[in-house]
Amino acid sequence: MTQAKPYDAAQDFMPINGTDYVELYVSNAKQAAHYYKSAFGFQSLAYAGLETGLKDRESYVVIQDKIRLVLTSPLKSGTDIGRHIDQHGDGVKVIALWVDDAVAAYTAAMERGATSYFEPYTESDEKGKVVRSGIYTYGEVVHIFVERKEYNGVFLPGFRAWSTPDYNPEPVGLMYVDHMVGNVELGQMNHWVEFYEKVMGFTQILSFDDKDISTEYTALMSKVMSNGNGRIKFPINEPAAGKKKSQVEEYLDFYEGAGVQHIAVATSNILETVTALRSRGVEFLQVPSSYYDTLLERVGTIDEDIEALRPLGILVDRDDEGYLLQIFTRTVQSRPTMFFEIIQRKGARSFGKGNFKALFEALEREQELRGTL
Ligand code: FE2
């Protein structure tokens, strides 16, 4: 692992305030919204579809603290959304970034070589106006810049409030998107690292090679890109040669291309959050109980009781600045592609390198069961 440059080295010509929303194209948005409410504690927020004048698609928006998920399905055949789902299964289409100036962000990105998804345009309703613009990143994923300083509606113009008075499961303590990881094809990692550096002014804060991230069977390489204020962090993975098929290759095979591998969401109390998620049926990767036998030797003193972490399967890692607790869900759709990470940071700004081996061995056990190792 190398700590390449400090955060503030990014030449921040594109100030980003945070993740605005994440949009997934899914085969059944109505049922997906129910799942994210029931299992993950999201709350009903907004809706757009036939009732709001859309003819070919509908979207449900759910929210938990600062995290907004948009779940979109086509309402007829032959749409681009339907084609996306046919190729990739359910997955992330849009990582939307909250900016103060969506025209300036788009202009800066285009001048530096971005591919346009759409030019800046303004939408408005009685609650004000929103300016959005979009560029492509890896695979078919896009970044949409969202400028909403003159808007105080529930989500975006075109959406109406969605309330469900009879069914609102409690939130589980998820607060914000900590990072989002992209899996790209063999040999493409550096291309996308350069894209985030050149086009978006991000800086590489960490890198891992196959010596850091390998088990007996599989390996991967990863570089972590961050924007200037550290609110947006995108690790980019590519497969590395191993004896058997790596988890990144399995993803690329089933997703049929590059895409978002996991969304890491932060909590301030991982014990409570994971207890709640488990009770609602969210499934997690399980490391062997022996992981905990040597944990304190590796990470030193921590605030949490190891015996509380063990049955939940929560992992711990330490870096120079502090420690972090993390756990990974199993994949959340039929294809073995995207999953979630739940993370609680106590000073550490890294990504759990000390857990990679235990974690990848757990992943390989799952791959073995699928016959794809
Ligand atoms: Fe992660």
Could you report the per-residue pLDDT of 300-311, keeping only the tens digit for each?
A: 999 999 999 999
Average pLDDT over residues 17-38: 98
Spell out the domains of the chain, with CATH numbers in brackets. Answer: 11-161 (3.10.180.10), 174-370 (3.10.180.10)
Whether pLDDT at 4 is above 50: no
Selected residue with higher pLDDT from 366 and 42: 42
Centroid of ligand 1 to alpha carbon of 100 (angstroms): 27
Centroid of ligand 1 to alpha carbon of 103 (angstroms): 31
Whether pLDDT at 2 is above 60: no
Centroid of ligand 1 to alpha carbon of 33 (angstroms): 23
CB 90 within 8 A of CB 338: yes
Q: Give DSSP secondary structure letters for 42-99.
A: -EEEEEESGGGT-SSEEEEEEEETTEEEEEEEESSSS-HHHHHHHHH-SEEEEEEEEE
List beta partners, residue 283: none
Separation between Cα atoms, residue 34 and residue 42, nearest integer Å: 9
Residue 214: which pLDDT band, with cuts at 50, 70 and 90? low
List beta partners, residue 226: 203, 233
Read off the tokens for 210. Answer: 């196959």
Centroid of ligand 1 to alpha carbon of 179 (angstroms): 7
Centroid of ligand 1 to alpha carbon of 326 (angstroms): 8
Q: What percent of the chain has pLDDT over 70?
A: 95
Centroid of ligand 1 to alpha carbon of 181 (angstroms): 7
Centroid of ligand 1 to alpha carbon of 278 (angstroms): 19
Whether pLDDT at 9 is above 80: no
Closest Cα partner for 13 from 111, 117, 138? Answer: 111
Centroid of ligand 1 to alpha carbon of 329 (angstroms): 11
Centroid of ligand 1 to alpha carbon of 61 (angstroms): 24
Closest Cα partner for 351 from 162, 220, 198? Answer: 220
Centroid of ligand 1 to alpha carbon of 86 (angstroms): 27
pLDDT of residue 213: 67
Whether pLDDT at 1 is above 80: no
pLDDT of residue 269: 98
Question: Long-range pairs for 220-226 at CB < 8 Å and ≥24 separation?
Answer: 220/246, 220/247, 220/248, 221/189, 222/181, 222/189, 223/189, 223/190, 223/193, 224/179, 224/351, 225/193, 225/196, 225/197, 226/7, 226/10, 226/202
359 CA to centre of own chain = 18
| DSSP 8-state symbol, 280 | T
Whether pLDDT at 27 is above 50: yes
pLDDT of residue 208: 80
Separation between Cα atoms, residue 112 and residue 100, nearest integer Å: 19
pLDDT of residue 301: 93
Whether pLDDT at 215 is above 90: no
The values of phi and psi at residue 331, to 5°, are: -60, 150
Centroid of ligand 1 to alpha carbon of 76 (angstroms): 35
Closest Cα partner for 102 from 133, 124, 128, 130? Answer: 133
- Vertex 193: Cα angle to 227 and 189 (nearest 5): 145
Give the count of beta carbons closer than 10 Å to the beta carbon of residue 7. 14
Centroid of ligand 1 to alpha carbon of 264 (angstroms): 5
Residue 169: which pLDDT band, with cuts at 50, 70 and 90? very high
Read off the tokens for 96. Answer: 């939307």
Centroid of ligand 1 to alpha carbon of 323 (angstroms): 14
**CA separation, residue 291 to residues 20, 91, 214 (Å):** 36, 31, 17
Centroid of ligand 1 to alpha carbon of 104 (angstroms): 30
Read off the tokens for 296. Answer: 């304190």
Centroid of ligand 1 to alpha carbon of 75 (angstroms): 33
Centroid of ligand 1 to alpha carbon of 353 (angstroms): 10
pLDDT of residue 366: 83
Residue 140: which pLDDT band, with cuts at 50, 70 and 90? very high
Separation between Cα atoms, residue 207 and residue 189, nearest integer Å: 11
Q: Give DSSP secondary structure letters for 166-193.
A: T--PPP--EEEEEEEEEE--TT-HHHHH
Amino acid letter at 105?
A: A
Whether pLDDT at 62 is above 70: yes
Contacts of 140 (CB under 8 A, 6+ apart): 84, 88, 93, 257, 259
Separation between Cα atoms, residue 42 and residue 55, nearest integer Å: 26
Centroid of ligand 1 to alpha carbon of 166 (angstroms): 35
Centroid of ligand 1 to alpha carbon of 271 (angstroms): 18
Average pLDDT over residues 68-73: 98
Centroid of ligand 1 to alpha carbon of 305 (angstroms): 23
Centroid of ligand 1 to alpha carbon of 207 (angstroms): 13
Give the pTM: 0.94
CB 175 within 8 A of CB 89: no
Average pLDDT over residues 351-364: 82
Separation between Cα atoms, residue 355 and residue 324, nearest integer Å: 11
Average pLDDT over residues 28-47: 98
> What does pLDDT average to over the chain?
93
Could you report the per-residue pLDDT of 226-277, keeping only the tens digit for each?
A: 999 999 999 999 998 776 778 899 999 999 999 999 999 999 999 999 999 9
Contacts of 120 (CB under 8 A, 6+ apart): 102, 103, 106, 131, 132, 133, 145
CB 318 within 8 A of CB 354: yes
